[in-house]
Each structure stands twice: as structure tokens, then as C-alpha cells.
């Protein structure tokens, strides 16, 4: 507005990997438009990373260097501490806490930190009248935190869903398009640098689970509760599962779903079958999609790049610009002290399930399975036995709608029969 020029907003950036370098580039290249939009200059005063002597393709000479992120977080010439190191313990946590204690606002891309310590950090920040912003922590460049916390603030949120791990989606998409087995594509993804140092964070669903827990806290006004996310990774998905799903008009996606009911907070992150002509089914490669449902707005679908230098740096800059413009919100959209403790509940919403079992190739094995399912009240929509070149016979079953509890009862009974040669794969079929 027509005010006298304001003081620059001074950033200290901890972590100069892909995202950190992306943020530095934007601030160097777009100084004029950023100042025009925020009403004040945005400047970097200090940076920090593990290794100083490394060509990162960007000029860092104008900025003070710190070896220690905690020292960076406390600097008098830093207004906003930008945490791009990652990891939910150690330097990222120490420096974030130090920044808040020193009266700095915080912008972070660290989903693990928020999933594990979000409530404590939010309480600390709000007691100190500071903000923590984290658009880059969920779904990369998609402004989903903003949409949920601000745009839909007039809604009771009824459900959030999303495909939010680009690496898993890449692996599943690539398996289908190239007809390659999981192990081969997993190795490709590793060679391409798509996997976290601990790949279980990706393929085990943990990273996506972190993101779901953060969205659920905002959506339902509950304390972040990552520990109660029902997690299931994609490691056991075979190329046969993908082909069988495709034959029935479905794709397999690592899908997160959270909703709150009278029974409590449901959060699950698991591979599911979704219709291949649905928006989720058509999501290929590293793209993310988040679905937000509110009692007033209905269903909002957001799609975009879930990772990468530009998209993630774009999200960090959205937060920086908000702080520069004076936007100040509670961390999770309402004061952390007013968030209720999450009461976890297993999903009771019935759904059809895809089951793949490996049966001993002996007479009566299939009959035992069918009997158990019938006794558990699970009716079979279709069943197919295929392939016989192995000692065990793979059997595909699609059930009519049933609850996860009924299914687990049946699977436990099946395990006791000893007619299966390996643990069954059970995938929920979502028709959203």
C-alpha cells in the first residue's frame, strides 16, 4: 500500500541442498517483484550448511556463513529462520527451537519434524508470539496448507485425501508403463536420486504419513498424531497386482485418507486401488494430488509437482512472502493450546478389497479360503486363480464391501489354516 518503505525482511537459511539453493536463486533473481508484492525487500543475511567449500552454482559471498545452524538461528540480523536441513531430531530440531527462543519466525520444509514435534513447537512458537510456516512440507509446490488453513477456514472439513509421495507414485507408474518388477524400478529410482537416504521413508509410506498427519491436525483441530497413522508401504506390490488391477479398470496408488467420526480420528496411508479414469488414477509419475472436502465447499482437488527445486522453493517463498506481508496465523490454523488430543480410530467405512493370496497347490485350499470369507460375512465379487508355473498358486479375490476389521478377522483365520505360502496382500478399493 502507499506506505513509507519498510525495513527489509532478513532471512537466515540453514541447509543448502536442492531446496535451499532454489530459494537463494529466487531471492537473487526476483528481488524487484518480491519487493513489489510484499512491500519490502527480502534479503538473505546468513546461510549454513554442512560443507562450506562446495560449488552450489549460486553466489553465496554476500551472506555471512555459519557452520552451526543453532548459531545461525540466533543471529541478531536474522528475522526469519529458514530450516531446510531435514530430519526430526538433531540439528533441525535444535535450531528450530533456538530460533523460536530467540524470537525468530520459522519457515520449514521439514515434514518429519512437524509430524513428531509439531505440537510442542507450535506451543513454543505461539507462547513467543512467533509463527512457524511449512507449506513446503506437504505436497511440494501445491499451496495446500494455505488452501486448507486459510481458504477453507469457513468449513468444517469432512475428509482429506492425497497422493503425496512422488517417489512411490513414480515407482508404481513406472512398473505399470514399463511392465517391470518392483525391485528393478526401485533400483532405477535409487539411481535417479529419487529415494531418501533411508528409502523406507518413501516406500514404507512414512514420509507420506508425516504429511497426512500434518493435514489432519489442521483439518480436524487435533494435535498432530503421526504415531496413530495406519501405515502400509508399497514394498509388497507386485507387477502382477498392477496388471490385475488394470484388468479391472483400476490403478494402484499410495493413498492417504483422514477423516473424523464419532469413533475418533482415522488416518491411513496405504496402497489402494482407485478407478483408472479418476483424477487420482490418472496421476502419473512424481505429481501429487490432494483432495480437501468441506461441508460448505464440497470437494476441492489440487494437483502439482510434489518435489524438486522449483516447486519446493516456490512453497518456501510463499511462506516467506506471507511473513513479509505481515500475515500471522497460529501454526495449525487455531491456537495449539486449543487443539484436542487425537482419539485414534480404525477406519470403519466399508469398502471392497482386493486380495492376493498364494495358496499351496493342493485340493481344497481354495475352498478353505472361500469358507472362511463366508463365515466372516465377506462376500466375494470375483475370484480368479492364475498361473501354475510356481509351486504355489496365486489367487485373486475381489470382495464386496466389508470393513477392515472383518477382513483382518478373516486374514487371521486364513493364516491359521496354513494353506497360504506367504502373507496375503490386501488392498482397499477406493471409488472416490
Binding residues (CB under 8 A) for a second copy: these are 1-3, 22, 26, 30, 33-34, 36-39, 126-127, 129, 135, 141-143, 146-147, 150-156, 221, 277, 279, 282, 294-305, 308, 310-311, 313-318, 320-322, 325-330, 333-335, 337-338
* Comparison of 192 and 337: residue with beta carbon closer to a second copy: 337
Question: Do residues 215 and 144 lie in contact, with contact meaning Cβ atoms separated by under 8 Å?
Answer: yes
The grid cell for 58 is 549460486
Output the smallest distance, CB 379 to a second copy, in A.
32
List Cβ neighbours of 97 (8 Å cut-off, separation of 6 or more).
121, 124
Output the smallest distance, CB 246 to a second copy, in A.
16
* Comparison of 60 and 329: residue with beta carbon closer to a second copy: 329
* Comparison of 57 and 391: residue with beta carbon closer to a second copy: 57
Output the smallest distance, CB 265 to a second copy, in A.
16
3-state secondary structure of 326: coil
* Comparison of 34 and 80: residue with beta carbon closer to a second copy: 34
Output the smallest distance, CB 296 to a second copy, in A.
4
Question: Do residues 395 and 357 lie in contact, with contact meaning Cβ atoms separated by under 8 Å?
Answer: yes
> Is the Cα dihedral 35, 40, 45, 49 positive or negative?
negative
* Comparison of 148 and 185: residue with beta carbon closer to a second copy: 148
* Comparison of 27 and 213: residue with beta carbon closer to a second copy: 27
Tell me the pairing of strands 9-14 and 80-83. Answer: parallel
Residue 114, CA atoms < 13 Å, CB-side half-sphere: 32
Output the smallest distance, CB 301 to a second copy, in A.
4
Distance CA 206, CA 197 (A): 13
Catalytic residue among 146, 211, 251, 253: 211
30 is catalytic: no
The grid cell for 423 is 502373507
What are the b/e assignments for 335-369, b being 16+ CB within 10 Å? Answer: ebeebeebebbebeeebbbbbbbbbeeeeebbebb
- What does 231-268 look like in DSSP terms, one character per residue? E--STT--HHHHHHHHHTTEEEEEEEEEEEETTEEEEE
- Euclidean distance between the first and the last CA atom of the chain, given in angstroms as a whole number: 44
* Comparison of 71 and 153: residue with beta carbon closer to a second copy: 153
The grid cell for 407 is 477382513
Output the smallest distance, CB 425 to a second copy, in A.
29
Output the smallest distance, CB 51 to a second copy, in A.
25
Question: Do residues 355 and 396 lie in contact, with contact meaning Cβ atoms separated by under 8 Å?
Answer: yes
Q: Which residues are catalytic?
A: 211
Amino acid at each position: 500500500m502507499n506506505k513509507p518503505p519498510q525495513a527489509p525482511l532478513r532471512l537466515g537459511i540453514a541447509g543448502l541442498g536442492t531446496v535451499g539453493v532454489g530459494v537463494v536463486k529466487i531471492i537473487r533473481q526476483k528481488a524487484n517483484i518480491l519487493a513489489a508484492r510484499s512491500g519490502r525487500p527480502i534479503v538473505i543475511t546468513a546461510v549454513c550448511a554442512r560443507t562450506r567449500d562446495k560449488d552450489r552454482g549460486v553466489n553465496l559471498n554476500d551472506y555471512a556463513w555459519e557452520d552451526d545452524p543453532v548459531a545461525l538461528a540466533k543471529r541478531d540480523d536474522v528475522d526469519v529462520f529458514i530450516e531446510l536441513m531435514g530430519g526430526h531430531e538433531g540439528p533441525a530440531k535444535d535450531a528450530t527451537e533456538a530460533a523460536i527462543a530467540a524470537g525468530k519466525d520459522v519457515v520449514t520444509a521439514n515434514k518429519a519434524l512437524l509430524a513428531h514435534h509439531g505440537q510442542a513447537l507450535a506451543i513454543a512458537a505461539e507462547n513467543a508470539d512467533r509463527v512457524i510456516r511449512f507449506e513446503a512440507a506437504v505436497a511440494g509446490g501445491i499451496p495446500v496448507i494455505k488452501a486448507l488453513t486459510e481458504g477453507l477456514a469457513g468449513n468444517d472439513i469432512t475428509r482429506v485425501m492425497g497422493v503425496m509421495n512422488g517417489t512411490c507414485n513414480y515407482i508404481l507408474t513406472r512398473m505399470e508403463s514399463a511392465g517391470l518388477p518392483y525391485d528393478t524400478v526401485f533400483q532405477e529410482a535409487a539411481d535417479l536420486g529419487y529415494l531418501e537416504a533411508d528409502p523406507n521413508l518413501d516406500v514404507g509410506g512414512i514420509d507420506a504419513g508425516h504429511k497426512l498427519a500434518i493435514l489432519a491436525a489442521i483439518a480436524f483441530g487435533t494435535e498432530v498424531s503421526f504415531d496413530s497413522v495406519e501405515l502400509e508401504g508399497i514394498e509388497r506390490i507386485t507387477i502382477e497386482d498392477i496388471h490385475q488391477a488394470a484388468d479391472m479398470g483400476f490403478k494402484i496408488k499410495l493413498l492417504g485418507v483422514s477423516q473424523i467420526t464419532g469413533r475418533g480420528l482415522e488416518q491411513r496411508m496405504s496402497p489402494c486401488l482407485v478407478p483408472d479414469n479418476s483424477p487420482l488414477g490418472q496421476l502419473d509419475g512424481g505429481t501429487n494430488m490432494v483432495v480437501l472436502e468441506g461441508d460448505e465447499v464440497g470437494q476441492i482437488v489440487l494437483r502439482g509437482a510434489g518435489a524438486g527445486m522449483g516447486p519446493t522453493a516456490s512453497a518456501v517463498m510463499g511462506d516467506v512472502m506471507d511473513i513479509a506481508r505481515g500475515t500471522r496465523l497460529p501454526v495449525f490454523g487455531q491456537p495449539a493450546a486449543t487443539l484436542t488430543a487425537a482419539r485414534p480410530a480404525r477406519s470403519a467405512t466399508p469398502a471392497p478389497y482386493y486380495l492376493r493370496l498364494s495358496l499351496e497347490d493342493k485340493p481344497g485350499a481354495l475352498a478353505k479360503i472361500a469358507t472362511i470369507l463366508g463365515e466372516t460375512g465377506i462376500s466375494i465379487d470375483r475370484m480368479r486363480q492364475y498361473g501354475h508355473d510356481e509351486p504355489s498358486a496365486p489367487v485373486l479375490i475381489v470382495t464386496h464391501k466389508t470393513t477392515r476389521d472383518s477382513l483382518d478377522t478373516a486374514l487371521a483365520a486364513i493364516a491359521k489354516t496354513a494353506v497360504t505360502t506367504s502373507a496375503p496382500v490386501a488392498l482397499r478399493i477406493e471409488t472416490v
